[in-house]
């Protein structure tokens, strides 16, 4: 197999010795199949025993070795060095984001685990079944949604790269909501959709649909699809929080005019709390920056309306 | 000092199942694990878990297959317990939320597995371990089981033949703690990392077994090391037996399904010891590819079935071997997979020291004897994990409060400080590499006197080197080099036992195959090996096998 040298730039931080984190560079001989984890093990054993990272299964299932590789959270054992080198010229390795650092590439995952715990992440099974020797009858079809979400290995990649979490520390994160949906979609769960109302508190509407949780998931769990499904359930269950009203106002505007009525979107979303921003609104009006709340429907609006009718949550 | 009624080492399936049981019985229980529970090696099991759920199947048939598979070394009372309890255990897991693959009528689906006369392996596609581990962790959380995650147990504390607790390093801070307990349950998994080629995770280093050995427990049947027939060539990543259960073929370089020669009846679904030897023989006799591997061919199953039943296998093969099983055969070779031996226990998980229990791969009940059947290890964890949890809970209710010898913690601290501050340049990673190669080459699928003697010398030399090992990294905080060094120490102890037992056992039985003694010898060797620690190394003794209803017969497939 052809070998070549690759340059690894690794963010180091040992609170016992360092005041600040700093990058260190290592050269590693690689072949076409070598993974980032293989290379880190090589560096640790041949060059620098103090280099610290988590790892266990080396086959992409235990979720230990999540870290940022050239700016994106990935599993080191499932990322080939050559792919990174070809794309970026070097391999920049850093600990995951949205979590404090314990040492080098080891992130303190407690924020992640506490968010998972907020969703009561277990099946509330029917305890009347205790001692019964009969399984619940379910088809593969019926458990498809849960089975897909249960592929989650809790590596934290989605949480690390979640842009909403950066700004909203109350946002529970993609993995947490995916886990909730795993139980909501499970016919055996005694709580089921009753799990949904508590999700507004957990930041159900904070997700911006950036899709990083989909693209960064090493198990293709697609947490953002669970978030969308939970939002629809929440909306149908009468959720009138700002997030739900925003969606409703958005759809109403499109339905009515075929365009986005920014003024009405704002007014309908914020409701009476608009008065808090009265000062700003007046200033904008004076400067001619406030959009008009009066829009005329576009031509052929009926076609738009029929599309909205098909896709809209919770309304006929 | 930390204090609990029951402390469990290991948060895989056996440990967490024990914890749930002990907690249900109202005792104060804590689990200590060097990894976060969801990272446990149990998570990596792929193929499935056995239970006689089928109408034409029975626990007796399951027991017979298990005992025959074990080459009659399993204790039959323990096998009976496991096989009788299997259907209940599976249904319980289903109630708790395990997403088993289903048959068309909505019932739990079952697939054929090696050495089984019946399709009795329940599964979740090819990620059964992951789904089980996730569910059992969820239920443990629901029960409020306390978990010390990323704590590394270093030694058991035993006084007057009573277990008093253990010492452990809190990995994040590096602090050494005394953990007092009336009962300790070892559920720390197998010892696959002793071998250079293994399907096991890097954390599977036999810590629990070694801790028991160091505390004076005689360790049982360590020469019986399972080699899985199908590990990905190059990376040794597991390719589930489910691949053959679903109909996969093993093919040599002459494009022949060679299993016809070795197990004409069962073919690819013969037990693992037989299939591994067949593959190794094909390779050694020049019918492998590049003298290194053979092919596992799934192409005839079709892409749809592969995606439905073996999605992880497809993904792993594409990623780690660059081969799409729907289009090309998978290059595979045998690799170490399972530790049949371990801490000897009775059918309730009790070890020979009072207050000490063990369950799962680190225990030897023995339900697997000389060769474990696929699908029986997950079953072992949930059946005997529960029993150990129950028995430990019962024991602590009557056990009197015992002291904890304080100086133990000082000694342990001193030992670790010495390791951290030593300036020699002997690296644990180099010792480990040499150990792995010696064990795979000389104490592997085929064994013989000369090789075993050389292995004994090599291991002894490596043990001497280890006396001057240096961690190199002297920081306390999250010192993974320190943990790896302590693990290598454990591995050396266990390797020494494996070699000693393999040298002594002059017969071939299950996974222990001696080319110089190729026949099973029931007259002399139908007995369990026991190795106890002495200053001169392991001292061997033997104990009889429990036979209830199945008399040993010749084993053909």
**Can you give the pLDDT at residue A315?**
52
Share of chain B above pLDDT 90, in %: 97
The tokens for B527 are 């007995």
- For B51-58, what is the mean pLDDT? 95
Domain covering A3-107 assigned CATH 3.10.20.30 in the classification: yes
Pairing type for strands A3-12 and A22-31 reads: antiparallel
Contact residues for A286 (Cβ-Cβ < 8 A; gap 6+): none
Q: Give residue-wise pLDDT tens across range A34-59.
A: 999 999 999 999 999 999 999 999 99
Which residues of B carry out catalysis? 272
Contacts of B171 in chain A (CB under 8 A): none
Instruction: Test B88 with A64 for CB contact under 8 angstroms.
Output: no
Q: Give residue-wise pLDDT tens across range B375-395.
A: 999 999 999 999 999 999 999
User: Model confidence at B450, in pLDDT bands (50, 70, 90)?
Assistant: very high
**Can you give the pLDDT at residue B423?**
84
Q: Give residue-wise pLDDT tens across range B335-365.
A: 999 999 999 999 999 999 999 999 999 999 9
Residue of A nearest to B425 (CA): A49
Q: How far is A255 from chain B (nearest CA, A)?
A: 41
Contacts of A47 in chain B (CB under 8 A): none
Of B101, B319, B427, nearest to A78 by CB-CB distance is B319
**B146 shares contact with chain A (CB less than 8 Å):** no
**Can you give the pLDDT at residue B398?**
93
Q: Which CATH superfamily is domain A110-236 in?
A: Alpha-helical ferredoxin (1.10.1060.10)
Of A16, A64, A151, nearest to B477 by CB-CB distance is A16
Q: How far is A149 from chain B (nearest CA, A)?
A: 11
Asked if the model's pLDDT at residue B23 lies above 80, the reply is yes
The residues in B 408-427 lying below 8 A from A, measured between CB atoms, are: 427
The count of other CB atoms within 10 Å of the CB of residue B523 is: 7
Instruction: Test B95 with A61 for CB contact under 8 angstroms.
Output: no
What is the rounded CA–CA span in Å between residue A247 and residue A270? 12
Residue B303: strand, helix, or coil: helix
The count of other CB atoms within 10 Å of the CB of residue B271 is: 29
Instruction: Test B104 with A139 for CB contact under 8 angstroms.
Output: yes
**B41 shares contact with chain A (CB less than 8 Å):** yes
- For B220-233, what is the mean pLDDT? 97
**Can you give the pLDDT at residue B310?**
94
- Residue-wise over A213-230: b if at least 16 C-beta within 10 A, else e? bbebbbbebbbbbbbbbb
- For A228-243, what is the mean pLDDT? 94
- Angle between the N-to-C axes of helices B480-504 and B407-421, in degrees from 0 to 180, rounded to the nearest 10: 100
Asked if the model's pLDDT at residue A231 lies above 50, the reply is yes
Contacts of A103 in chain B (CB under 8 A): 475, 477-478
* Long-range residue pairs from B174-178, CB within 8 A, at least 24 positions apart, any chain: B174/B475, B174/B476, B174/B477, B174/B478, B174/B479, B174/B482, B175/B476, B176/B409, B176/B412, B176/B413, B176/B416, B177/B1, B177/B2, B177/B151, B177/B409, B178/B1, B178/B2, B178/B404, B178/B406, B178/B408, B178/B409
Instruction: Test A136 with B234 for CB contact under 8 angstroms.
Output: no
Query: Does the ipTM exceed 0.85?
Result: yes
Residue of A nearest to B319 (CA): A78
**Can you give the pLDDT at residue A316?**
40
Q: What is the pTM of this model?
A: 0.96
Residue A157: strand, helix, or coil: helix
Interface probe, candidates A78, A150, A183, chain B, greatest B C-beta count within 10 A = A150
**Can you give the pLDDT at residue B401?**
76
The tokens for B303 are 């892409």
What is the rounded CA–CA span in Å between residue A165 and residue B288? 53
**Can you give the pLDDT at residue A1?**
67
Specify the range with the lowest mean pLDDT, choosing from A225-234, A237-246, A269-278. A269-278
Nearest Cα to Cα of residue B509 among B64, B69, B65: B69
Q: How far is B556 from chain A (nearest CA, A)?
A: 34
Q: Give residue-wise pLDDT tens across range B400-413.
A: 877 899 899 999 99
DSSP B38: G
Give residue limits of the domains in chain A: 3-107, 110-236, 242-314
Of B35, B96, B471, nearest to A123 by CB-CB distance is B96
Q: Give residue-wise pLDDT tens across range A73-126.
A: 999 999 999 999 999 999 999 999 999 999 999 999 999 999 999 999 999 999
User: Model confidence at A293, in pLDDT bands (50, 70, 90)?
Assistant: confident
Contacts of A176 in chain B (CB under 8 A): none
Asked if the model's pLDDT at residue A314 lies above 80, the reply is no
Pairing type for strands B29-33 and B2-9 reads: parallel
Contact residues for A303 (Cβ-Cβ < 8 A; gap 6+): none
Nearest Cα to Cα of residue A103 among A11, A227, A235: A11
Residues B289 and B253 sit within 8 Å (Cβ to Cβ)? yes
Contacts of B479 in chain A (CB under 8 A): 52
Q: Give residue-wise pLDDT tens across range B162-198.
A: 999 999 999 999 999 999 999 999 999 999 999 999 9
The count of other CB atoms within 10 Å of the CB of residue B426 is: 16
């Amino acid at each position: 197999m052809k070998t070549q040298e690759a340059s690894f730039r690794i963010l180091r931080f040992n609170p016992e010795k360092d005041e600040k984190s700093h990058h260190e560079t290592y050269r590693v001989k690689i072949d076409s199949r070598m993974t980032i984890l293989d290379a880190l093990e090589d560096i640790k054993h041949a060059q620098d025993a103090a280099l610290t990272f988590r790892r266990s299964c080396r086959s992409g299932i235990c979720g230990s070795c999540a870290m940022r590789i050239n700016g994106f959270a990935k599993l080191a054992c499932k990322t080939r060095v050559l792919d990174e080198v070809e794309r970026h010229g070097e391999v920049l390795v850093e600990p995951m984001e949205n979590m404090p650092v314990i040492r080098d590439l080891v992130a303190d995952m407690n924020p992640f685990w506490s968010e998972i715990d907020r969703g009561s992440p277990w099946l509330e099974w029917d305890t009347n079944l205790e001692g019964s020797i009969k399984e619940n009858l379910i088809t593969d079809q019926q458990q498809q949604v849960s089975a897909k979400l249960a592929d989650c290995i809790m590596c934290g990649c989605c949480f690390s790269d979640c842009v909403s979490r950066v700004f909203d520390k109350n946002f529970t994160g993609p993995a947490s909501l995916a886990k909730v949906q795993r139980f909501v979609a499970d016919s055996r769960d005694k709580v089921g959709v009753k799990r949904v109302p508590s999700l507004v508190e957990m930041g159900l509407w904070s997700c911006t649909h950036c899709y990083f949780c989909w693209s960064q998931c090493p198990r293709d769990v697609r947490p953002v699809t669970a978030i969308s499904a939970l939002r629809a359930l929440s909306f149908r269950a009468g959720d009138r929080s700002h997030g739900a009203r925003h969606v409703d106002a958005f759809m109403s505007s499109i339905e009515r005019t075929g365009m986005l009525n920014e003024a009405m979107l704002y007014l309908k979303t914020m409701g009476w709390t608009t008065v808090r921003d009265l000062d700003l609104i007046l200033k904008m009006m004076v400067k001619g920056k406030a959009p008009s709340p009066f829009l005329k429907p576009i031509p052929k609006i009926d076609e738009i309306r029929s599309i909205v009718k098909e896709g809209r949550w919770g309304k006929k | 000092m930390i204090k609990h009624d029951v402390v469990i080492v290991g948060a895989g399936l056996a440990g967490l199942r024990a914890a749930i049981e002990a907690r249900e019985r109202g005792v104060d229980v804590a689990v200590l694990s060097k990894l976060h529970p969801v990272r446990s090696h149990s998570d990596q099991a792929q193929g499935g878990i056995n239970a006689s759920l089928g109408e034409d199947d029975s626990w007796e048939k399951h027991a017979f297959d298990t005992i025959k598979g074990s080459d009659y070394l399993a204790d039959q009372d323990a096998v009976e317990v496991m096989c009788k309890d299997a259907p209940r255990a599976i249904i319980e897991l289903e109630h708790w939320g395990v997403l088993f693959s289903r048959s068309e009528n909505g019932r739990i689906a079952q697939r054929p597995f090696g050495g089984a006369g019946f399709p009795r392996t329940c599964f979740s596609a090819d990620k059964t371990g992951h789904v089980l581990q996730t569910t059992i962790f969820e239920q443990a959380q629901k029960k409020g089981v306390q978990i010390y995650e990323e704590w590394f147990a270093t030694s058991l504390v035993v006084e007057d033949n009573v277990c008093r607790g253990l010492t452990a390093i809190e990995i994040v801070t590096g602090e050494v703690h005394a953990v007092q307990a009336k009962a300790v349950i070892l559920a720390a998994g197998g010892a696959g990392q002793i071998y250079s080629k293994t399907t096991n995770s890097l954390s599977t280093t036999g810590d629990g077994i070694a801790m028991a050995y160091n505390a004076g427990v005689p360790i049982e049947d360590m020469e019986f090391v399972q080699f899985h027939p199908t590990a990905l060539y190059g990376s040794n990543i597991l390719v589930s037996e489910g691949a053959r259960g679903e109909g996969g073929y093993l093919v040599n370089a002459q494009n022949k399904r060679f299993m016809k020669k070795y197990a004409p009846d069962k073919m690819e679904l013969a037990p693992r010891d037989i299939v591994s030897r067949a593959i190794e023989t094909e390779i050694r006799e020049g019918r492998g590819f590049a003298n290194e591997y053979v092919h596992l061919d799934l192409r005839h199953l079709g892409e749809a079935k592969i995606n439905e039943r073996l999605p992880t296998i497809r993904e792993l093969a594409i990623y780690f071997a660059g081969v799409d099983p729907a289009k090309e055969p998978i290059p595979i070779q045998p690799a170490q997979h399972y530790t049949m031996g371990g801490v000897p226990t009775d059918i309730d998980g009790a070890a020979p020291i009072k207050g000490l229990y063990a369950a799962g791969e680190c225990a030897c009940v023995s339900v697997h004897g000389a060769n474990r059947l696929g699908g029986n290890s997950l079953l072992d964890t949930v059946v005997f994990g529960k029993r150990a949890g129950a028995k430990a809970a019962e024991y602590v209710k009557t056990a009197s409060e015992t002291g904890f010898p304080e100086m133990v913690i000082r000694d342990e601290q001193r030992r670790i400080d010495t390791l951290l501050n030593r300036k020699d340049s002997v690296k644990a990673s180099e010792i480990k590499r040499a150990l792995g190669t010696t064990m795979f080459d000389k104490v592997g699928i085929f064994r013989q006197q000369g090789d075993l003697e050389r292995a004994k010398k090599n291991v002894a030399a490596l043990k001497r080197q280890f006396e001057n090992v240096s961690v190199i990294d002297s920081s306390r905080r999250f010192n993974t080099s320190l943990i790896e060094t302590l693990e290598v120490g454990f591995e050396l102890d266990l390797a020494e036992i494996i070699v000693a037992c393999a040298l002594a056992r002059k017969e071939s039985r299950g996974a222990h195959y001696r080319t110089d003694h190729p026949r099973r010898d029931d007259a002399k060797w139908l007995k369990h090996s026991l190795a106890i620690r002495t200053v001169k190394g392991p001292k061997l003794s033997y104990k009889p096998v429990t036979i209830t209803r199945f008399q040993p017969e010749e084993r053909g497939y």
